[in-house]
Every structure is written in structure tokens, then in C-alpha cells.
Structure 1
Amino acid sequence: MRPHRLSDPAFAALGAGRPDAETVAELRRAQFSRHLLLLREIRAAAPGASWSLLVAAERDDRDRVRAAIARPLTGVWAARCLTALRAGKLPEEAGVGYLEDLAAPPAGPVPRRLVADHDGLTISVRLEDRHPLRAQLGLTPADPLTDAEAARWQELFTDAWQLLTRVVRPQAEVLAQVLDCIVPVRPDPSARGISATSADAFGAVAMSEPADAAALAVGLLHETQHSLLNAVHYLFDLHREPDALGYSPWRDDPRPVSGILHGAYAYLGVTRFWRARPGDPMAAFEYARWRSAVADATDDLLRRGGLTPAGTRFVASLHAEVRPWLDEPVDPAVARLAAGANTDHHVRWRLRNRHVEPADARALAEAWRRGAPPPRVTSELRRAPRRALEASARLDLTHALLRGEVVDGSAGDLAYLRGDEEAAVRAYRERVIADPRDHAAWAGLALGGAPEVVAAAYQALDDPETDPITFAAWVSS
């Protein structure tokens, strides 16, 4: 089997989120090679398994068996099986018996499929609501779908495909090449919708039923970008220190730099989708917000210097793709809300994840009481105990405003939405004085400097007579 290679122009186009058909085909071939290598290692670790059945099945129907080996869920099984065997588990405990399923002819119900065609571009994917491995994508799978539920998925898929082919056809063409299956999962009550991919399952998407066709279109674009980048990571080392933690505009917890790149690459596709829908206030908001987030994240990755030469080439192509978008005009009112949402997220992220030693906070408070200059106090980043998706009541209000819905929130949030900065500051100041631990109020003030230091010191001060804005200006001095 020949080595897998990408030319420099093809690699740069892939970094920019514009791979051609041959590049995607090469990534698929590389993933198939990976599956074969995993099977070889499993055989070496468990030689007594039913390998003769698989060999005989391939001899009888080569195309069917190779298609089964190439599927995303086979990749997940193979990676986990090999890991379990190397950890000392017995073959039956590691799941080697799945080889018999690969070898056996299809039995039982025919898997559901989602099929759509628009303007000459067709897509067909498996709707895996019964596959025994569907839980291995990291989210809790939904129960097998009823016929009515499956029909709802098909309706959304048809509408989403029409939307994709109409507004971002080149991305739709890539999606048709990459996407192999969708695994319906249970919704998360705390999230608007959840989806995930696995590094071992190129072309598989686990997702809860989307609210509408646009949400499905965006979710599929987002997760397909993850699959592409996972395939790139298999062929190229992009990071020198992939686990170093930093700020991610898409999550409320610290993320490794490899995860930050994944977020930037996924949101490149999402941003391009919103860019192609002018005239829609919500689309303009999403476009303005995410173009800045992607540009800032990639700029930070390039500045940090932790990329390999291949990683630098990839991220530079991504950054060069999005950078010109920052100069494209957006309605000023929408641009203000988008910039505010990014600032809001960054401030809340710092308050959540950067720790200030209590003794340092007390030292600041004591210096204030004495009328002394503020001592220099820093904070340290701490790994979050669990995954945290973005959650913000103020962002929810912004979305409702842009959708033309009735907006009902706190006095500070309502003043912020209508652009009354003085009223917003007054309201947020009152909230901070009433509860110095109110992160949303601190973020609403959008104080300069290190907000986590200001907030920690103000809590230690425990003096409601002290104006938090005056105190923040003193700390920043």
C-alpha cells in the first residue's frame, strides 16, 4: 500500500477549510489504512479470535467486508479493543467478538438511511439508532427511533441539505464525501443541542434531534470539520505540546491547544455558513462573533509558538482565510452585540478558571483600607473538573432580541441590549455590591485588567460602601 501524502497546496487548502475531492478521498483512504493496521495489531494481541471467519467472508464478498471495516464505528471499536487488550484484558472482555459481526452477512432490520438531493447533489447516510457500538461516540444514545421520529429526522435532513447546497455548496460537497452516519443521542436539558465526534470515527456524528433545519446544517458542518481535522492529526503532528491549556472562545472550561485548534477549525465552517446568509440579524450576529473568535484563536496559536512546521502551515492557512472577513461590514448594532458577547464570555471564563490565592486577595483588600498602592497580584489557570459548554443568560437574551422575540431580563441586561451603557453599569454595579460573587454582573461591567483578581479582592474587602468600579481602577493602577 502506497504512503499517504498531501501536496503543499492541498494541505494549505485543507487548512483554509476548502479541501478538494481528491484531498478528502486521500483522507478516507488513510483512515481505512488505519483500520487495517488496528486489525493487524488486534490479531497479534488476540491470535485465537475468529480471524478465519473474516478472511473467508472477505474472500466471498470483498466489497461488503471492506465497507464494513471502513465504517466509523468499526474504527471506534478497533481502537478501544486494542487499548483494552494492551491493558491486559481477555479477548472476550475487550470485545474481540465483534469480528464475527464484521464477517457475518447483514442480518436483522436494515439500518435506516437519510437521503436527500438538491440541485443535482445527493447525500445518503446511515441513521444508526440500533447499532450496538453507537454508545462509543461519547454521548448517551437515544432509544431506537419510532417511525414518526425517523420521519422527523428525514424531514429536517432534507431541509438542511437544501439549505447547505444553496448557500455553501462547496462545503456541502465535502459533507457528502465525509459524512457516513448520524447517531441520535439523548438531549442535554442544560444545552440548546448537543453533538460530538470521535477521533476514531471519521465521518460519524452523534447528535440530539436539532431544533430546525438550520441547526442541523450548522451541526453537521461543525462536526464534519472535526472529522477532517482528526484525519489530519492522524497523518501530521501539528502541536509540540498539544495538552497545554488555554482560553477557548467556545467553551467555559480551559482547553488544550489541540482542542482550541479543533474549535477554530470547526467554527471556520460554521462562520462561512453564517457569512453566506446576509439580511438575517441572527446570521449577522453569529458571523460577526465567530469570525473574531476564529481570528483571535488562530492568531494566539501562531503567537504561542507551540506548533510544528506542519501545524504552523495549517493554522496560518486557517488564519489567512478568516482574516479578510474582519473587514466586511456588519450592522453596527449587531456588531456591538457580537463584540459584547465575546468580551462577556472571556471575562466569565477568567472568573471561572483563573484562581487567585486568598492571601493575595486579602493583601489587596488591606492595601485599599490603608490607602497604600496596590500590590501586584496574579492568578493561575486551573483545570476545570468537568467539561463545560457555553452558558449565558445574557447571550440567550441577545438571541431572543435578534429573533424579534419578547425580551425580559434584569435591568442591567436590558440596558445593555438597548445600548444604554450608563444604565447598564449602574445596574451591574448594584448587583456586584449586593453579591460580589455574581460573575455575570462582573462580566457585565466588562472591567479592564484581570477581572478575577478584582473580583477576588473585592470579595475579600467585604465592604458594600466601596464602589467596585473605583476599586477596579485602583487595582488596575
Structure 2
Amino acid sequence: MLKVQSRCDLACDHCYVYEHADQSWRGKPITMAVETMAQVATRIGEHAKSQGIDRVHAVLHGGEPLLCGPERLSALIRALESGVRGICDLDLHIHTNGVLLDRRFCELFRAHDVKVGISLDGDRAANDRHRRYRDGRSSFDKVARAIELLRTGYPEIYSGLLCTIDVRNDPIAVYDALVSHDPPAIDLLLPHATWDDPPFRAGETDYADWLAAIFDKWLADGRPVPIRTFDSIISTSRGGPALTESLGLEPSDLLVVETDGTFEQADSIKIAFDGAPETGKDVFRHSIDQVAEHEGLAARQRGSDGLSATCRACPVLDSCGGGLFAHRYRTGSGFDNPSVFCADLKKLIEHVERRVSAPRHPVPRAALRSIAAGQGTVEALTILQRGQRSIRRALIASVRGQAGPSPEWDLLCRIEPAIVDEVFAHPYNRVWAVDRLRGPDRRDDGRLAALACAAAARAGMSATLRLPVTDGAVFLPTVGRYEVPGASETTVEIRDGEITVERAAAVHRVRRLEVGGHPLMVEDLDPVRDCHGRPAAGRLTDEQAGHWQAVFGAAWDIIAERCPEYLPTLTGALSAVVPVVGEPAGSSARNAFGSVALALPPDPETLCVLLLRETQRIKLGGVLDMLDLFEPRASTVSVDTQRLLSDSYARLAVTDFRRRRSQGRFGIEAATDVKATLDSILASDSLTRLGRGFVEEMRRTLDAWSA
């Protein structure tokens, strides 16, 4: 941050430079000399070269930087650019109150690719509360004209609006006013305050409530503009980086150079006490590497270790990061405190996470151990099912999000969520959603409307929707296939749960097998079921379906008698089977959780092996959807290791089944072979700590069998 001007033409009463504890501005040169800027550029170039930095973010700041005038600003910019040319690129910005911005400045900034951010606190009433001239005149009209000039004449250099929050202003009026200027981004900034000089408030969480009102409106509007506070919370709640200095645990990389060339810490620290941001170093005598050794800067590089004990114990630490460093100050304990906005930040972060984050499904250690041991408890399988439900919801909502509002989505939103989830749980809905999101044509192809029809029928509702006809038919997941020859579209009418398809010539209902009280869908109709690497068979005849029922029933009985511990796996991980052509064998697909593709073997014993093997793969896929068992690096080694783990986990159940069948005589050699594979996985260094524990638990199971 380069302070090119130490004076301002407005008298904003919330300004941290002029209205708070540090008054060092009074002794600074009014404008930075070109020679000083040249030395700044030299220091930046040295630092970029020594640290291997190829891009530097620089902000021209003040005071009000436009008071320099176009000529002086042009000279300063040229001095900065020439000093780093050939060493690193500059991402150059300027922050201004906008009242002096005109075409001369805009032409200068466009020529040097300087992005312009303007301070505006909302509508006229909000802006006039603080941003006035010394004689009390409003600055609003001039700022609004400047923004309009940027928006219409120089959109390529318009970077956004900076708004300082005052909870006495109407939050929605402020938001609407800011959005009306079509900004590329908005910063909503908490007013600068400390524990010694707290912010204005009427209640404990005024600022959270104010921001939450805007967040809800912003979310309902479809997030029309990036708002850094909200985007940062969303990012960190999903494991991503913080996007603003005032939140998150990223090390601070901000250094300030004053008009006289002195290096300072973040200028917001001026609110703490007189001299608070000083480092005792300057561009003429010290390098940036030397400044980085200053304790105040080093303290902001330590992540959670640099925070108070209260912050380190907080559940929203990753998103909050203790808030802005300056806001933690209190006489006696310095900056070793939570933010003065602590309660507001916690409430806001929790509100945002509730609204937009995918539900979190913690996997207790005991549940994960039960899965790793080979079987998995009912609780463990329930957790995997919940995770899959959230994934399906998110994927289907993403497909819908690309299409915009639709009558089928409105219908789904009126149906009891549990009923919608029953229809969404069809295994090939995830396959469909992933294909739509990855494919070149990402629009919904009518399946969303089909899901809405199936859910409405299950809920006993009445509705009418138009659906496209594909390959002469309409398919409703979990319901069946309706033949509509010669049509491109048809009307589906639901009355009290009964479905009528206009001009339907034939109806093929989804078949189900009854095995051990568990209904198992035979999916021989879904047009996206052909994803298992083997050609899907056509519709089963009634005689074939009867044969499937007999063989499945017998196999289920054998597993219930010989390996009852695997029944939670079968009922929790298997909801559909897809008939395929070819030699008797089975396969599963990662995106089709709950489904196995089978060419039916002639005897129940072989079917037991196929079912146990493939449901193990389904179960492990569900674990990998929720937990990182492997280090996140895309290497051939880790891909091969994942395949080895999947094969070994499948063989674990098969070995168990066969050793029980032979009263322990069979399986020692197979167990030894699996153990050797697991040892190679453990030696590969591609597992996370969680993954290592998972594989070690598998090995303990095999050791117990060998003993």
C-alpha cells in the first residue's frame, strides 16, 4: 500500500487516518516524491527477485490520492513501473473517494491498467452520515457521477465499491444502492474500533444482524456481485482460502509505505495508539526482507498460533481468523485478544454456513473403524447415506442453477423434503447430474421435471408439467417408462398421486425384488444406467424377472445365515441392480452409489460373492466422497494405490465369506495375499493419517483371521 498523498479533501468522521489515536500524518510530506517512489520500486524489485515473486499487488492510497493531480500521479506510476520492469508484473490499484475523478484521471489509469476502487457507504442518506466536506456539504452527487463515468466509459478499470458499515443505516437500502452501480465487487467494511474505543452498537450482535440481512438478500438475488466478506466465509467454510485481510488464517502480506518512504504495518493499526504502525525502517536504508523481520509483521504470519487462547478454542476459527488485527487491541494486553466484533463475526459466520455450506456429516472414529474392518455398522452406513444425500442435492441443484427458475423446481420446493430425497436417491440421478455438469450442453434435459413428477406422485399431490420425449418415451425415476411414439413433448398430469401421460401407448413399471424385507429395484429402464463399462441389457421379461427374484432371494438367505454382519452393508449400500449382457460378473460405478451392474450367475453362491465384492466398492466410494484417505495429489502412483485399496477392500469381504463357508480352512492364503497388497499401500506414502488408520484396521482384521 503506497501512500502517495497524506491529506484528504473530505472530513469523514470515521476515518482511521485522521480521526483516531495515531496522528503521525501531521508530520508527513503532503505528497510522495517521485524519487521516493523510484526507491520503493527498487525495494520491490529486490524483494520480488530474492523471493521468486512474479506478481506484486500495489495500491495507491492516501489520504486522497487524486489530490496529487494527474501529472504527479502519472510520474509516480511511471517511476514504479520502470523500477520493476523485467522483474515482476504489477497488479496496480487506486482507492479514492471519487469526488475528483474525471476523464483525465480515467485516461491515465486506463493507459497504465490501474484498477479504480471507490468509497461509497450506500444511498445518499447513508453516505451523508459520514462522508462530507469540512463545511458539511454532501459528497454524494460527485461520487455518484464518478462511478457512472467509470461504469459507462471505463468499465475495464472499474474494480468495485468500498462501503464502511454503520448499523444505523438501513442494510437493504445500502445494498440496493451499491448494487445499482453495477460494481464488479463490493467490500463491506466493519468500522475501525478497539476494546478501548468500541464501535457504536445498540445490541451485542448489531453488525452480524445488519450483515446477515444483506447476505440473505444477496443470496436470494443469486449473488449478483462478489462481496468479499461473504465470499471469504463461504470459501473458508469449504476448506478454501480467505479472500480478505480481515478474515481467515492466511498470513498477512500487507506492507505500507508512507509519503516520506517509511515502512509501516497495516495502516488500520493507527486506531490502537499513537505510533502503533511504526517499524523504524524506511525504503532508503532497509530492504523489504529486513522489514519482514519486525515483530509486529512476524506476529501476523503465525496463523492460529498468533491468536488469543479464546480465538484458538473457537469453532469458527478457520473462517474468522480472529478478525482484523487492529480490532483486537486493548490497553494492557495489546493485540492478544479476540476482535471487538467477536460476537458479530461468530454469529455471521454461523449464519452464512447454515445458509450455503453443504451439511457437514462427521464420521465418528468407531463408525469408520467398523467400515475399515470389513462390514460396517448400521450407524456407519447411515452416515454414508446422509453424505450421498447431500451430494445428490448439491449436484441436482447445480444443474437446476444453470437453467434458472422453472416450474418443476418450484414444484419440488413445495414437496416434503424427505419425499424428494426418496426420489433423488435413485442411483442414476447422480450419474445424470455429473454428466450434465461436465458435458458441453449443460442444460437440464427434462429429468428435473421427471423427478418433480415422480416426487409429486409419491406425495399424493396434483400438478401438471410438460416433458420432452426422448427416443419415443418419457422416463420417471423410481416410477417407470411411458412410451409416447411420434411426439417431441408430452404433458404429464398428476392427480392425487396418480400419473397420466398424454398419448402414452404403453407403460413399463419399475420392477422390484423383495429380498429379506429389503426392496431392491431392478433398473432395466433408466436411459443413463449404461455407465458400468458393460452394455446394459434391455427390459427383462416376466420369466427372467422371476428367475432374478429366485436367485437373489436364495443368495440373500445365504448371506443372512453365514455372514449376517454384512447385511447392513447390503441394505445400506445397495438399492438397485442393473442387468448387463455377457459372462456372469458384477461391477459398480463411483457416481452410481447404491447400484450394481450384474450378468446374473446361475447359482446363489456365486451371486453372494459378486454382491459382497461390489457393495464393498460402493461403500469405499462413499467413504472417499466424505473423507480424504489419500494425499490430494494427482499422480499415477496415488491413482494406482486407490485402485489397489478398492480391490483389497472388495477381497476382504469375499475372503471372509469363503473362510466362513469352509469353517476357516479356506482363506489363509488369500488373506496373506491381501495383507501383502496392504503393506505395499502403507509403504507408498500416498495415504493421509486417516487413510493409514483405515488400511491398518483392514490389516488387523486379516491378522485376526490368520491367528
TM-score (norm 2): 0.40
CA gap of 1:324–1:3, structure 2 versus 1, over 3 A, is same
Q: For residues 254-279 of structure 1, what are the alpha-carbon distances to aligned partners after superposition, in whole Å with 9 as ceiling and x for unaligned?
A: x7110100001111111111111126
Task: Report if aligned partners of 2:400, 2:409 keep a CA contact under 8 Å in 1.
Answer: no
CA distance in 1, matches of 2:635, 2:548: 37
Task: Report if aligned partners of 1:239, 1:307 keep a CA contact under 8 Å in 2.
Answer: yes
CA distance in 1, matches of 2:637, 2:699: 20
Q: 1:308 aligns with which of 688, 691, 698?
A: 688
CA gap of 1:294–1:144, structure 2 versus 1, over 3 A, is same
1:341 aligned partner: none
1:271 aligned partner: 655
In the alignment, structure 1 residue 155 sits paired with structure 2 residue 554: no
Q: 2:646 aligns with which of 262, 268, 271?
A: 262
Task: Report if aligned partners of 1:194, 1:208 keep a CA contact under 8 Å in 2.
Answer: yes
Q: State the 1:62 CA deviation.
A: 4.4
Task: Report if aligned partners of 1:187, 1:209 keep a CA contact under 8 Å in 2.
Answer: no
1:217 aligned partner: 608
Secondary structure of residue in 1 paired with 2:509: coil
Q: State the 1:167 CA deviation.
A: 0.3
CA gap of 1:64–1:225, structure 2 versus 1, over 3 A, is same
In the alignment, structure 1 residue 299 sits paired with structure 2 residue 679: yes
1:9 aligned partner: 366
In the alignment, structure 1 residue 67 sits paired with structure 2 residue 422: yes
Partner letter of residue 658 of structure 2?
A: W
Task: Report if aligned partners of 1:243, 1:258 keep a CA contact under 8 Å in 2.
Answer: no
Q: 1:24 aligns with which of 370, 375, 381?
A: 381
Secondary structure of residue in 1 paired with 2:538: coil
Q: 2:579 aligns with which of 184, 200, 206?
A: 184
Q: 2:702 aligns with which of 316, 319, 322?
A: 322
RMSD: 2.1
Q: State the 1:298 CA deviation.
A: 0.8
In the alignment, structure 1 residue 196 sits paired with structure 2 residue 584: no
1:81 aligned partner: 436
CA distance in 1, matches of 2:636, 2:446: 38
Partner letter of residue 198 of structure 1?
A: A
Task: Report if aligned partners of 2:370, 2:380 keep a CA contact under 8 Å in 1.
Answer: no
2:515 aligned partner: 116
More strand by share: 2
Q: State the 1:223 CA deviation.
A: 0.8
1:34 aligned partner: 391
CA gap of 1:210–1:58, structure 2 versus 1, over 3 A, is farther
Partner letter of residue 576 of structure 2?
A: C
Q: State the 1:110 CA deviation.
A: 2.4
Question: How is 1:130-169 mapped onto 2 (pairs within 5 angstroms)?
Answer: 130-169=525-564
Task: Report if aligned partners of 1:242, 1:256 keep a CA contact under 8 Å in 2.
Answer: no
Consecutive unaligned residues of structure 2, counting only runs of 5 or more, are: 1-353, 455-478, 480-498, 500-506
Task: Report if aligned partners of 2:588, 2:596 keep a CA contact under 8 Å in 1.
Answer: yes
Q: For residues 93-130 of structure 1, what are the alpha-carbon distances to aligned partners after superposition, in whole Å with 9 as ceiling and x for unaligned?
A: xx53211211113453321111123xxxx322101112
CA gap of 1:38–1:142, structure 2 versus 1, over 3 A, is same
Partner letter of residue 596 of structure 2?
A: V
Secondary structure of residue in 2 paired with 1:152: helix
CA gap of 1:89–1:60, structure 2 versus 1, over 3 A, is closer
Task: Report if aligned partners of 1:242, 1:257 keep a CA contact under 8 Å in 2.
Answer: no
CA distance in 1, matches of 2:634, 2:698: 18
Q: State the 1:65 CA deviation.
A: 2.6
CA distance in 2, matches of 1:262, 1:242: 17
Q: For residues 50-80 of structure 1, what are the alpha-carbon distances to aligned partners after superposition, in whole Å with 9 as ceiling and x for unaligned?
A: x431331452454443211122111111111
CA distance in 1, matches of 2:410, 2:673: 50
| Bigger Rg over Cα | 2
Partner letter of residue 55 of structure 1?
A: D
CA distance in 2, matches of 1:229, 1:291: 19
1:231 aligned partner: 622
Q: For residues 13-32 of structure 1, what are the alpha-carbon distances to aligned partners after superposition, in whole Å with 9 as ceiling and x for unaligned?
A: 21112321111101101100
Secondary structure of residue in 1 paired with 2:436: helix
Task: Report if aligned partners of 1:58, 1:66 keep a CA contact under 8 Å in 2.
Answer: no
Q: How many pairs align?
A: 299
* Structure possessing the higher relative contact order (Cα contacts under 8 Å, 6 or more residues apart): 1
Q: State the 1:181 CA deviation.
A: 0.3
Partner letter of residue 595 of structure 2?
A: A
Task: Report if aligned partners of 1:58, 1:64 keep a CA contact under 8 Å in 2.
Answer: no
In the alignment, structure 1 residue 126 sits paired with structure 2 residue 521: yes
Secondary structure of residue in 2 paired with 1:206: strand
Partner letter of residue 696 of structure 2?
A: A
Q: For residues 274-313 of structure 1, what are the alpha-carbon distances to aligned partners after superposition, in whole Å with 9 as ceiling and x for unaligned?
A: 111126xxx955x244312211111111122211111101
Q: For residues 229-265 of structure 1, what are the alpha-carbon distances to aligned partners after superposition, in whole Å with 9 as ceiling and x for unaligned?
A: 101111111122565349xxxxxxxx71101000011
Partner letter of residue 451 of structure 2?
A: L
2:447 aligned partner: 98
Secondary structure of residue in 2 paired with 1:124: strand
1:55 aligned partner: 410
CA distance in 2, matches of 1:4, 1:96: 31
CA distance in 1, matches of 2:676, 2:565: 25
1:45 aligned partner: 402
CA distance in 2, matches of 1:60, 1:173: 29
Q: State the 1:43 CA deviation.
A: 2.6
More helix by share: 1
CA gap of 1:132–1:64, structure 2 versus 1, over 3 A, is farther
Farther off after superposition, 21-30 or 65-74: 65-74
Secondary structure of residue in 2 paired with 1:134: coil
CA gap of 1:126–1:170, structure 2 versus 1, over 3 A, is same
2:467 aligned partner: none
CA distance in 2, matches of 1:104, 1:289: 53
Secondary structure of residue in 1 paired with 2:661: coil
Q: For residues 110-162 of structure 1, what are the alpha-carbon distances to aligned partners after superposition, in whole Å with 9 as ceiling and x for unaligned?
A: 21111123xxxx32210111222221333211111111111111110111011
CA distance in 2, matches of 1:103, 1:79: 19
Partner letter of residue 264 of structure 1?
A: S
In the alignment, structure 1 residue 244 sits paired with structure 2 residue 636: yes
CA gap of 1:291–1:302, structure 2 versus 1, over 3 A, is same
Partner letter of residue 102 of structure 1?
A: L
CA distance in 1, matches of 2:618, 2:380: 13
Q: State the 1:179 CA deviation.
A: 0.9
Task: Report if aligned partners of 1:243, 1:257 keep a CA contact under 8 Å in 2.
Answer: no
1:365 aligned partner: none
Partner letter of residue 46 of structure 1?
A: A
Q: For residues 374-421 of structure 1, what are the alpha-carbon distances to aligned partners after superposition, in whole Å with 9 as ceiling and x for unaligned?
A: xxxxxxxxxxxxxxxxxxxxxxxxxxxxxxxxxxxxxxxxxxxxxxxx
CA distance in 1, matches of 2:630, 2:652: 19
